[in-house]
Amino acid sequence: MQLHDLPTPSALVDLDQLERNAARMADRARRLGVRLRPHVKTHKCIEIARIQTDLHFGGVTVSTLAEAQAFASGGFTDITYAVPIAPQKLAEAADLNREIDALNLVIDHMDTLRAAEKFAVSRGIVLPVYIEIDCGDGRSGIDPDDDASEHLIRRLAEADALDFRGLLTHAGHAYRAHNRAEAWAVACEERNVITAFAAQLRDLGIEIPEVSVGSTPTARAIDDLTGITEIRPGNYVFYDAFQSAIGSCELDEAAFSVLATVISVHPEAGRAVVDAGALALSKDPGPTHVDPDCGFGVPVATDDLHPLPGLRITGLNQEHGTLTGPGVAALHPGTRIRIVPNHSCLSAACFDRYHVVRGTEVVDEWHPVRGW
Amino acid sequence: MQLHDLPTPSALVDLDQLERNAARMADRARRLGVRLRPHVKTHKCIEIARIQTDLHFGGVTVSTLAEAQAFASGGFTDITYAVPIAPQKLAEAADLNREIDALNLVIDHMDTLRAAEKFAVSRGIVLPVYIEIDCGDGRSGIDPDDDASEHLIRRLAEADALDFRGLLTHAGHAYRAHNRAEAWAVACEERNVITAFAAQLRDLGIEIPEVSVGSTPTARAIDDLTGITEIRPGNYVFYDAFQSAIGSCELDEAAFSVLATVISVHPEAGRAVVDAGALALSKDPGPTHVDPDCGFGVPVATDDLHPLPGLRITGLNQEHGTLTGPGVAALHPGTRIRIVPNHSCLSAACFDRYHVVRGTEVVDEWHPVRGW
């Protein structure tokens, strides 16, 4: 089957490019002397995770227990659930942890730590736990400068029912960078904050086996990961318009795109509509801090990822994507285009299947995990 | 089962409120003298459509052929596919049209009209067709002031293989209203533009059986639908924070919400995190034209829809929703909250199942259609 025979909207995974992206990050991790534990939330797909972990130790990062369950069933035995766990989810997580080598939990609050310890003691088990620290993003994670943080870690290190696996952080603020130089500065901050805190804790006699960082912009930008044991980038295997805008990649390195069909054209009004709307592309606003007019993804040619001139996606409704600009004149009802979405993780999650292509040939169909 | 026993994030459908919303709109349609053909894209759920069409003629509106297939299988025999059809989708649509009373197609371009006629002639069938007109939204639809529009309709009226069912429009610009008075003005425009064009065509001797309008803001605001034969609102059965902000409803009329659990709390930084992120709420920016600080939905109490004071959802990542404000001090890891999303259609589409509640009791589980 050829790409042009697919229904629309369809999620396309370009396997040649995906393999290149995976190999390059795997190689970077080796050269930087760290383990690669890719975040599979980007694609939620066993086949892609196998490519990403090839020749690496096999660990993955997930964002939901549904992903953890699916990847455990798919043969992955070392999984980090990198979202602070809700106390109500401890039982499900513990059950899964028993079935594989480790389902590492993440905690950033004393109440959750106490709940996890109490739960593990009541079951007579030991749960592997990472502590998340905030390296500047301002979302989740303990503040390493807060005295309470040291207290939390001491408490964890002394808890027999909890196996303190180490520290973990995510420099989400790297997504506010305008270019790779700024992402590099954030990557240095990510590294410096967590390694300094690890050193402070080691000075107290606390063992810190793992020091884990990760995001695609910082993983692409950083040149020295001394003191870090693993990285957890995820988006890099697909990339997207956002990563291209902030310098993590070139646009033609994107391995995920959405195939769409033009369904309405009004050249006199300078607009057209495709059948990929908010439920195919997500309403992620994209890199507006770099380009306020970025629109909702980049329209590109179907046979390669060459941007279509004079076209922007300026509006998204549920099943309508509105294109505006002089490039509309080249479109007709039935014209196929590809769209590199602003945020491939959110766009990919809209689809129940990925059509895997090499060039324009459809070579496979893969099914991501859904739900929680 | 009680609401508090559900996993999170979960999609909650409040059945008491949904029945009230459905009955009120059904009653409005009767009083206004029009048929109600609810747009089921909001929920994509057979059970909800049955409630909406109870005591009405049974027609529904869909936004994808997957919805059309599912609703046909669910016993709905009069379906309007209210998105301009791609020429490539004619065969699938025609097959479905043969199985039920009518799958009405929507066309807004001469090329598509020619393709549909050619296809129908080649199959020896007749396809039911609506022409979409643009009543001011500026998305899809022909311009009634353009001479080419009259030409398009003449051509359609003369095509034996196409059954011209009537005119259809959607006042999407009603979503730019700030209040019900402004929505009323848009609703009048929606009605006036389409009825004027229908009159113009009838003066030419062209029969216009149906004159169809529809959006939730305009359907709630309008008080006179003379000349209109049917309305196609959809969101009203759920409502959401957006509709509340522009005056279509009160917040406590929302029948769809997302149950979430607090997973991280840092009161000293004035923030917390829940396990409902962009994949549960969608990244719809909400009614920023009414309230630039609206955030990504309204956090409300679990047992009713009373807004939680001093809390806003100021950030969304894939599985993280960031809450900020003084109300964070009342939260702990494990605290449950409900969130009325900005846009219930997009949030509902994130879920594979709806937990149906009456009050806090879970009484059923329904499964929406997915994909295309």
Report pLDDT for B250: 97
**Among all residues of chain A, which has the CA nearest to that of B87?**
A334
Tokens encoding A290: 């770099």
**Among all residues of chain B, which has the CA nearest to that of A319?**
B63
How many Å lie between the alpha carbon of B250 and the closest alpha carbon of chain A?
A: 23
Residues of chain B contacting residue A275, judged by C-beta atoms under 8 Å apart: 83, 86, 372
Q: Tell me if B350 sits within 8 A of B366, measured CB to CB.
A: no
B84 and A112 within 8 Å at the Cβ level: the answer is no
The percent of residues in chain B predicted with pLDDT above 70, rounded, is 100
Q: What are phi and psi of A314, to 5 degrees?
A: -100, -10
Residue A182 to residues A174, A177, A217, A241: CA-CA distances in angstroms? 8, 5, 10, 18
How many Å lie between the alpha carbon of A176 and the closest alpha carbon of chain B?
A: 13
Q: How many contacts (CB atoms, under 8 Å) link A and B?
A: 161
Report pLDDT for A56: 87
A86 and B140 within 8 Å at the Cβ level: the answer is no
Report pLDDT for B55: 80
| B266-286 residue pLDDT tens | 999 999 999 999 999 999 999
Q: Is residue B144 scored above 90 in pLDDT?
A: yes
How many Å lie between the alpha carbon of A273 and the closest alpha carbon of chain B?
A: 7
As a whole number, the mean pLDDT across chain B is: 97
Report pLDDT for A305: 87
Report pLDDT for B258: 98
Q: Is residue B253 scored above 90 in pLDDT?
A: yes
How many Å lie between the alpha carbon of A228 and the closest alpha carbon of chain B?
A: 25
A139 and B273 within 8 Å at the Cβ level: the answer is yes
Residues of chain A contacting residue B146, judged by C-beta atoms under 8 Å apart: 268
- How confident is residue B56, by pLDDT bands cut at 50, 70 and 90? confident
Q: Please give chain A's pLDDT, 372 residues, in tens.
A: 999 999 999 999 999 999 999 999 999 999 999 999 999 999 999 999 999 999 889 999 999 999 999 999 999 999 999 999 999 999 999 999 999 999 999 999 999 999 999 999 999 999 999 999 999 999 999 999 999 999 999 999 999 999 999 999 999 999 999 999 999 999 999 999 999 999 999 999 999 999 999 999 999 999 999 999 999 999 999 999 999 999 999 999 999 999 999 999 999 999 999 999 999 999 999 999 999 999 999 999 998 889 999 999 999 999 999 999 999 999 999 999 999 999 999 999 999 999 999 999 999 999 999 999
- As a whole number of angstroms, the distance between CA B150 and CA A366 comes to 47
Tokens encoding A305: 């990822």
**Among all residues of chain B, which has the CA nearest to that of A149?**
B266
Residue B100 to residues B40, B69, B229: CA-CA distances in angstroms? 17, 10, 22
Which residues fall within 8 angstroms of residue B180, CB to CB, at 6 or more apart?
Answer: B217, B220, B221, B246, B247, B248
Tokens encoding A322: 């509105």
How many Å lie between the alpha carbon of A300 and the closest alpha carbon of chain B?
A: 19
Closest CA to A205 of A152, A269, A270, A157: A157
Diameter over CA atoms, chain B: 72
Q: Name which of A83, A323, A352 to mutate to probe chain B: the one with the most chain B Cβ atoms within 10 A of its Cβ.
A: A83
- As a whole number of angstroms, the distance between CA A322 and CA A277 comes to 8
Tokens encoding B344: 């219930």
Among the partner-chain residues B263, B345, B352, the one whose CB lies closest to the CB of A85 is B263
Average confidence (pLDDT) over B195-217:
97
A346 and B264 within 8 Å at the Cβ level: the answer is no
B263 and A322 within 8 Å at the Cβ level: the answer is no
Q: Tell me if B53 sits within 8 A of B22, measured CB to CB.
A: no
Report pLDDT for B267: 92
Q: Tell me if A238 sits within 8 A of A348, measured CB to CB.
A: yes
B372 and A318 within 8 Å at the Cβ level: the answer is no
